[in-house]
Chains A and B, each alone.
Chain A
Amino acid sequence: MLSNSVCFSQSNSEPSIKGKLHIDSRWKPVVYLSYIPTFKDMSKMSSQMIIAEAKVDSLGYFSFPVNQLPKSDRLYRIHISKKKAPPASLIIGGEEENHIFFIANPNVNIYISNTDSLGIFNKHKIQGYLPNNDLSSINKIIENRKTESSTDSRIKREFLEKNINSKLRRIADTSSHPIVSLYALNQSNFESTFLENQKFYKNYLKKWKNEDSLYFTEFRTKLPTEENTYIYKFLLIALGFFSLGFIINYLIVPRKKHKQNRILTSLSIQERKIFALLQDGKSNKEISEELNIGISTVKSHISSIYNKLNVKSRKDILNLHL
């Protein structure tokens, strides 16, 4: 944990995350700072994520030093907890939502304030570092999603939802800040709109190919890569061939077999035995000895077999695959 400190004015130029909060008696006068390594962790709470805590003084002021933060921009969360709750408490949604997110690095001087103690972060400001203004703009768009949905019909809501998602994609596309850009995209239901906008995502990944932060690593794993797309295509083709094989095997071949069975059943029992021996390449004499019948009888049966199967020679019999 970083050391606690109190006191401050906004004019202090020493890099820090500080501010003034109006909090009522429900809340403990302590602010917790958490490091958010991936967007997935925005809705996660664990005491390990809390990297600092600062007391809120009687006038509402608090401050965190920033010198131990990672050098490049990262996403952070500050939250407060209710009096009877443990420090690691996260409230999502409703009037008691107890946290906000912002971007910071060791050189920033961020000032956080609120104007209402009822909904503690309902009306808040994050000043001092420009990417957070963009973050706030994105949050306002997301807020619109909630308010619009409460008054409009379902069809209109779906239309608005599409509109909001496309607005967020536009921000993601135009923002020059990697976390802001990805934050916007992350709020745009990108997983369900990937197929509709494949070209956009392809270009997006190309644009940020050098970003190796965990935020982008996580994002890349969520999107189907080109390699995966090829695998899917290959699997689809394989499945197609399998289905074709299945159809041929179970629908076409049985018909052929059925026809062949019908031909075989037209032969008498003795003829079938002789037919089998003919297919083994046996001579008339061998058949005669094996079945213990005269050669002339064998010849007569063979002639009958030729007629019934509509063949002219032993070679034709050998070529029959019954």
Chain B
Amino acid sequence: MKNTIKLVSTLSFFLLFTLGVFAQSQSTHQCNSTTSNRNIELEGSSDTENIKIEVDKDVNKIHIGVSSTIKSGYLTVEVYDPKGNKKGNFSVESQIKPGDKKKELVCGQMQKQIDEPIEGTWIVKLIPRDAVGTISIHTSQI
């Protein structure tokens, strides 16, 4: 009987210990993920802008989401890895010229998930041409 109680209590201890370790690893996992959001307003801009994303060696996964809505002009968004290889791109163009009474919206959105990303500076390159609109960039690293 005593042996049974010992066995049950040992098993319970291990079970609780395992659950504790698991919970801790989950919470550490959550703490290690970093996210950032950036919103950019374009008011007829034609200046190229590079948004840098620093990726450390121990990052397992990065997610880059870029969405843009433009009212006029032209916008190209490109994503480059630290080696300079293009990893994705999109362009949006509105036929409306600044000052026109007509309204037109054009939306572009890109979702990129990269596993085991190369360590270094990833770049989201924004190339507007007389663009009026908004860009929203969301990045997360795990």
Smallest CB gap from B61: residue in A? A150
For residue B111, CB closer than 8 A to chain A, the reply is yes
- A92 and B110: CB pair below 8 A? yes
Q: Is B109 an interface residue (CB 8 A)?
A: yes
The one of B88, B107, B111, B118 in contact with A45, judged by C-beta atoms closer than 8 angstroms, is B107
Closest CB in chain A relative to B106 CB, distance in Å: 4
State whether A46 touches B94 (Cβ < 8 A): yes
Contact of A90 among B85, B108, B112 (CB under 8 A): B108
Beta-carbon contact of A92 and B88 below 8 Å: yes
A46-B111 contact in complex given A86-B105, A86-B106, C-beta closer than 8 Å: no
CB-based contact B91/A45 at 8 Å: yes
Q: Across the interface, do A44 and B105 meet the contact criterion of CB distance under 8 Å?
A: no
Partner of B115, one of A43, A149, A192: A149
List the B side residues contacting A46 at CB < 8 Å.
92-95, 106
Q: Does chain A have a CB within 8 A of B89? A: yes
Cβ-based interface call for A136 (8 A): no
Q: A149-B115, A150-B115, A192-B85 are in contact. Are A44 and B93 (CB under 8 A)?
A: yes
Q: Which residue among A90, A96, A153 has the maximum number of chain B CB atoms within 10 Å of its CB?
A: A90
Within 8 A of B (CB), among A61-114: 81, 85-86, 88-94, 96-97
| Chain A neighbourhood of B118, CB < 8 A | 154
Please tell me if A48 contacts chain B, counting CB pairs below 8 Å. Answer: yes
Query: Which chain B residues (82-107) contact chain A, with CB distance < 8 Å?
Result: 85, 88-95, 104-107
Contacts of A45 in B (CB 8 A): 90-93, 106-108
Pick from B89, B106, B113: contact of A43, CB under 8 Å: B89
| Contacting residues, chain A, for B54 (C-beta < 8 A) | none
Cα-based distance from A85 to B91 in the complex (angstroms): 16
A-B contact pairs, 28 of them (CB 8 A): A43-B90, A44-B91, A44-B92, A45-B90, A45-B91, A45-B108, A46-B92, A46-B94, A46-B95, A48-B95, A85-B107, A88-B92, A88-B106, A88-B107, A89-B106, A89-B107, A89-B109, A90-B109, A91-B110, A92-B88, A92-B90, A93-B110, A93-B112, A94-B111, A94-B113, A96-B111, A149-B116, A151-B115
User: Which residues, 12 to 49 on A, are CB-close (under 8 Å) to B?
Assistant: 43-48
Q: Closest A-chain residue to B106, C-beta based?
A: A88
A: interface residue count bin? 20 to 34
Residues of B in contact with A, size category: 20 to 34
Question: A residues bordering B, Cβ < 8 Å?
Answer: 43-48, 81, 85-86, 88-94, 96-97, 149-151, 153-154, 157, 192
**Alpha-carbon distance between A46 and B90 when the two chains are bound, in angstroms:** 11
Q: Contacts A48-B95, A96-B109, A192-B85 known; list 18 others, CB within 8 Å.
A: A43-B89, A45-B92, A45-B93, A45-B107, A45-B108, A46-B93, A46-B95, A86-B105, A88-B92, A89-B107, A90-B92, A90-B108, A92-B110, A93-B111, A93-B113, A149-B116, A150-B115, A154-B116
**Contact B95 A47, beta carbon cutoff 8 Å:** yes
A151 to chain B, nearest CB (A): 8
Shortest C-beta distance, B84 to chain A (Å), equals 10
Q: Which residues of B contact A150 (CB under 8 A)?
A: 115
Which residues of the partner chain B approach A48 to less than 8 Å between Cβ atoms? Answer: 93, 95
Q: Which of B47-72 contact A (CB under 8 A)?
A: 65
A121 to B93, CA, bound (A): 24
Alpha-carbon separation in the docked complex, A85 to B105 (Å): 8
| Assembled-state Cα–Cα distance A303/B107 (Å) | 92
Measured in the bound complex, the distance between the Cα atoms of B85 and A44 in whole Å is 19
A86→B88 contact, CB < 8 A: no
CA distance A85 to B115 in the complex (A): 30
Complex Cα gap A82–B93 (Å): 18
Residue contact B106 to A47, C-beta cutoff 8 Å: yes
Is the Cβ of B109 less than 8 Å from the Cβ of A92? yes
A151, B115: Cα distance in complex, Å: 8
Q: Is the CB of A86 within 8 A of B95?
A: no
CA of A48 to CA of B94, assembled, Å: 8
Minimum Cβ distance to chain A for residue B62 (Å)? 12
List residues of chain B with CB within 8 A of the CB of A89.
106-109
Q: How distant is A97 from chain B, measured CB to nearest CB, in Å?
A: 8
Q: Which residue of chain B has the shortest Cβ distance to A92 in the bound complex?
A: B110
Closest CB-CB distance, B118 to chain A, in whole Å? 8
> Chain A residues near B109 (CB, 8 Å)?
89-92, 96
